Chain A
Amino acid sequence: MSFDLAVIGAGPAGMAAAVEARALGLAVLVVDEQPAPGGQVFRSVEAAHGDAVLGAEYSAGLGLVESFRRSGATYRPGTTLWHLDPDSGEMSLTPGGPAVARRVLLATGAQERPVPILGWTLPGVMGMGAAQIMLKTAGAVPSGQVVLAGQGPLLWLLAAQLKRAGAAPALILETTPKGRLAAAFRAGGWFSGRGLLLKGLGLLRETRGLPVVRAVTGLRAEGEGRVQRVVWDGGSADCDTLLLHEGVVPATHIPLALGLEHAWDVRQQCWRPVVDVHGASSHDRVAVAGDGAGIGGWQAAVASGQLAALDAAHRLGRLTAEGLAQRAAPVRRMQAEALALRPFLDALYAPSAAVLAPPDDQVLVCRCEEVTAGQVRAAARLGAQGPNQAKTFLRSGMGACQGRMCGATVARIIAESRGVTPETVAPLRPRAPYKPLTVAQLAGL
């Protein structure tokens, strides 16, 4: 099957790109791992939009999903891209056969930043994003003593949602250090981003009265066979479910595997693909839009998806340069507005050094191969210069997740050990298959 534009991911960026590209007459393929469109932010919105607990902003995603459904794009849900040859545009997909596209837009979104603490592999410790997915896909809430630990807008959104559902967390452990608010105001953006800021203040108001410990450090999970206690410097509490969150980072697995040029994002402390204003990457067939190109939230993602679609149409001769400029202008204004609060949020919720590189040698950093921070430090002392050599020595990043959970942590620990800046250490280089698949699927049997 041959297409003008293939979009990988049916979240806000991917859906918006598909809608825009279809409107311009492009033949569009949308491939998504999930069974229904929406991405993680609007996960299951067609089924769950009536659940008031999730809030009005979530339900607003329904409109986007509906216009995507009507767009006429070829939609392959439940489908994994396991290899892309950027030079030819050939995509290996499973289940089902391959496809080829003249332009490929990666809209693979974000993942939660791993929070490697002692005990984070214990059953009952999860990401806050995971708890939200339980809410969206199953209407389910964690029961028993629920503790939220970490920081970021999602923490307060989840706390509010759980409270609305009658399952308010027993305790919130906020890791934001003292004095950050002043730094955030200095970073700017709060005035132009005041709409989002007000929404955040609303969440804070809604969650008032929940027990909160602030400026928490030294977080760890303890228990026999499952989490039973959460401990921090100066305190501890019983706990049945510990939900962690330290923000989200771009899902760079496929862009890195393709060898796209990446840049270190100092504000967000992560790698992101280098893209131009329309999302075009360093490879002339490939664009990246949405949180995958740098965290900006769903409204910015919609705008970047539209821009990438306009650019695709222009590159394929369906839109003149003037047409592109004209149509892109209002979208770029919308994007700027959506991104206005980012400097403020990034400064307020910057992850601590301990989250990026756990100081305790006993912490498991690679959950799959069960490699500790101490082992990574030993490899660095032996001369490992980055996560690729550490992978060779320790198997960190060789498990089923292919380094999605440990790659950044291993690189950071090595950077610290070597006494160099994080951008000096190149990220783990993933290879295909981007996700495991059976030998039979790979062989096309």
Chain B
Amino acid sequence: MYATRPEARPATVEVFVDGVAVRVPAGASAAAAVLLAGSAAIRETAVTGAPRLPYCMMGVCFDCLAEVDGAANVQACMVPVVAGMRISRQAGARDALMPEAGR
């Protein structure tokens, strides 16, 4: 669970985390948006289905893999938010044949 501090960084960018609109500060990553949205998980592992949230936030651990604008297994901590971005949970192994939007 994370909270913004509007006095320092106003939440000005609207993105959608698992379909729910959430406003986050510009400069935040997609992974940060998931933490700010209070999601229970950003992914479920492909091995055992265990829930995970971001761990390192600096591109090392790959526990923040998520679907970002339809692209699967994106390292969400490396992607800055843009207005309207859709971030959703990566549920285990991706479906390879599912067509992706915008990619």
Tell me whether A139 is interfacial, beta carbon within 8 Å. yes
Complex: A40 Cα to B60 Cα, angstroms: 12
Closest residue of chain A to B63, judged by CB?
A367
A370 touches B2 (CB 8 A): no
Which residues of chain B are within 8 angstroms of A183 by Cβ–Cβ distance? Answer: none
| Cβ-neighbour of A225 out of B5, B40, B54, B61 (below 8 A) | B40
| Cβ-neighbour of A125 out of B25, B29, B55, B62 (below 8 A) | B55
Which residues of chain A are within 8 angstroms of B59 by Cβ–Cβ distance? Answer: 33, 435
A318: min CB distance to chain B, Å:
33
Complex: A120 Cα to B63 Cα, angstroms: 12
Tell me whether B73 is interfacial, beta carbon within 8 Å. yes
Which residues of chain A are within 8 angstroms of B58 by Cβ–Cβ distance? Answer: 40, 111-112, 129-130, 133
Tell me whether B26 is interfacial, beta carbon within 8 Å. yes
Complex: A240 Cα to B38 Cα, angstroms: 11
A418: min CB distance to chain B, Å:
27
Complex: A129 Cα to B24 Cα, angstroms: 20
Known: A370-B45, A405-B60. A47 touches B28 (CB 8 A): no
| Cβ-neighbour of B80 out of A35, A50, A436 (below 8 A) | A35
Complex: A137 Cα to B9 Cα, angstroms: 9
Known: A121-B52, A226-B40. A129 touches B57 (CB 8 A): yes
Tell me whether A401 is interfacial, beta carbon within 8 Å. yes
Most buried by B among A47, A125, A401: A401
Residues of chain B in range 26-50 having any CB-CB distance to chain A below 8 Å: 26-29, 32, 35-36, 40-41, 45, 47-48, 50
| Cβ-neighbour of B2 out of A121, A142, A401, A435 (below 8 A) | A142
Tell me whether B101 is interfacial, beta carbon within 8 Å. no
Tell me whether A383 is interfacial, beta carbon within 8 Å. no
Complex: A33 Cα to B78 Cα, angstroms: 8
B5 touches A126 (CB 8 A): no
A138 touches B60 (CB 8 A): no
Closest residue of chain B to A251, judged by CB?
B60
Known: A121-B50, A137-B27. A112 touches B1 (CB 8 A): no
A130 touches B40 (CB 8 A): no
B10: min CB distance to chain A, Å:
9
Which residues of chain A are within 8 angstroms of B75 by Cβ–Cβ distance? Answer: 400, 435-436
| Cβ-neighbour of B60 out of A44, A51, A111, A241 (below 8 A) | A111
Tell me whether A250 is interfacial, beta carbon within 8 Å. no
| Cβ-neighbour of A140 out of B28, B73, B78 (below 8 A) | B28
Complex: A34 Cα to B80 Cα, angstroms: 9
Chain B, interface size category, equals 35 or more
A140 touches B60 (CB 8 A): no
| Cβ-neighbour of B57 out of A127, A165, A436 (below 8 A) | A127
B50 touches A370 (CB 8 A): yes
Complex: A204 Cα to B52 Cα, angstroms: 33
B48 touches A370 (CB 8 A): yes
Which residues of chain B are within 8 angstroms of A4 by Cβ–Cβ distance? Answer: none
Tell me whether A399 is interfacial, beta carbon within 8 Å. yes
Indicate with 1 or 0, residue by residue over A111-155, a CB within 8 angstroms of chain B CB atoms: 110000000110111110110011001111111100000000000
Known: A33-B59, A47-B27, A400-B65. A137 touches B51 (CB 8 A): no
Residues of chain B in range 60-94 having any CB-CB distance to chain A below 8 Å: 60-63, 65, 73, 75, 77-78, 80
Complex: A120 Cα to B8 Cα, angstroms: 30
Closest residue of chain A to B7, judged by CB?
A139
Complex: A139 Cα to B27 Cα, angstroms: 10
B60 touches A139 (CB 8 A): no
Which residues of chain B are within 8 angstroms of A33 by Cβ–Cβ distance? Answer: 59, 78
Which residues of chain B are within 8 angstroms of A133 by Cβ–Cβ distance? Answer: 32, 57-58, 77
Indicate with 1 or 0, residue by residue over A378-404, a CB within 8 angstroms of chain B CB atoms: 000000000000000000000111001
Which residues of chain A are within 8 angstroms of B20 by Cβ–Cβ distance? Answer: none
B50: min CB distance to chain A, Å:
7
Closest residue of chain B to A53, judged by CB?
B8
Which residues of chain B are within 8 angstroms of A241 by Cβ–Cβ distance? Answer: 1-2
Interchain Cβ contacts under 8 Å between A and B, 22 examples: A112-B58, A124-B53, A129-B56, A129-B57, A130-B55, A130-B56, A133-B77, A137-B27, A138-B4, A138-B25, A140-B9, A140-B25, A140-B35, A165-B8, A225-B40, A367-B52, A370-B47, A370-B50, A400-B62, A404-B61, A435-B75, A436-B75
Q: Which 4 A-B pairs have the closest CB atoms?
A: A139-B9, A130-B57, A400-B62, A138-B28
20 further A-B contacts with Cβ under 8 Å, apart from A33-B78, A138-B2, are A48-B9, A48-B27, A53-B5, A121-B50, A123-B52, A125-B55, A126-B53, A126-B54, A126-B57, A127-B56, A130-B55, A130-B57, A133-B58, A134-B57, A137-B27, A139-B8, A140-B9, A143-B1, A367-B61, A368-B47
Report which A residues bind B (CB closer than 8 A). 33-36, 40, 44, 47-48, 50-51, 53, 111-112, 120-121, 123-127, 129-130, 133-134, 137-144, 165, 167, 225-226, 240-241, 251, 367-370, 399-401, 404-405, 435-436
